[in-house]
Amino acid sequence: MKINIANPSTGAQKKLEIEDEGKLRAFYDKRIAQEVDGECLGDEFKGYIFKIAGGMDKQGFSMRQGVLVSQRVRLLMTPGDQCFRGYGRRNGERRRKSVRGCIVSSDLSVLNLVIVKQGEGEIPGLTDRELPRMRGPKRASNIRKLFNLGKDDDVRKYVNTYRRTFEDKNGKKHSKAPKIQRLVTPQTLQRKRSRAAKKKIAQEKSMKEAAEYHKLIVQRVKEQQERRSKSLAEKRAKRASQASRA
């Protein structure tokens, strides 16, 4: 079985291939998100604590959190569910797909682990190197959070810290930085004011039309009452004249 160990603090990963069944037995019958003592893999991992993040079996079916079995099952999934991307599906369409349960067994080909606690010794390729973050945040609020900025600081100046430079096939150099999303600029504030002004005009127009409609309804009801009272008066006068003749 292959063991893929990730170190979130450095961004490094390392893959180990372990044939010894005695070392792997410590992971069997454990679930995703459970923690395991790293000493079971060898003395170099003494003091390390790993968390099980997932895995994949020999046929390529990945483990799914919440499915409390150690074998494969077929579940009815909607697009966007874990282990089902749902590309090319209609809105609301569900499919029955095979997934592996969240319990570790010997049928797995790869087991993903994350370092929760680092031990005393250094692991070559995992704890002795630090990989830079490939892509920084794009949202303006997340950039402020990353660099501990205030509301008055210009976010656009700090994106250049993780700007990447690369060469194309012709040898020409290019630089790339993420486009900042949800950036509050004078233009966005002006658009917001414009939307609010249009909304206010529409509300005033609808209120004016509603008042005119109410006024028209009152007038029509009044005219109807006048016509009814007039017709009743004519009927009473006609009956009175007929009674006087008799």
Q: Alpha-carbon distance 123 to 46, whole Å?
A: 11
- HSE value, Cβ hemisphere, 13 Å, CA-based, for 76: 3
Structure tokens, 100: 């592996």
- Rounded Cα–Cα distance for residues 3 and 24 (Å): 10
Domain-wise residue ranges, the chain: 2-117
Task: Calculate ∠ Cα 45-48-50, nearest 5°.
Answer: 110
CB 118 within 8 A of CB 8: no
- Three-class SS of residue 43? helix
Cα 207–chain centre separation = 39
Tokens of 229: 């009272």
**pLDDT digit string (tens) for the chain, length 246 residues:** 999 999 998 889 999 999 888 899 999 999 999 999 999 988 889 999 999 999 999 999 999 999 999 999 999 999 888 888 878 888 888 999 999 999 999 999 999 999 999 988 888 888 888 887 778 899 999 999 989 999 889 998 888 887 888 888 888 998 888 889 999 999 999 999 999 999 999 999 999 999 999 999 999 999 999 999 999 999 999 888 888 886
Type of residue found at 177: A
DSSP-derived 3-state class of residue 50 = strand
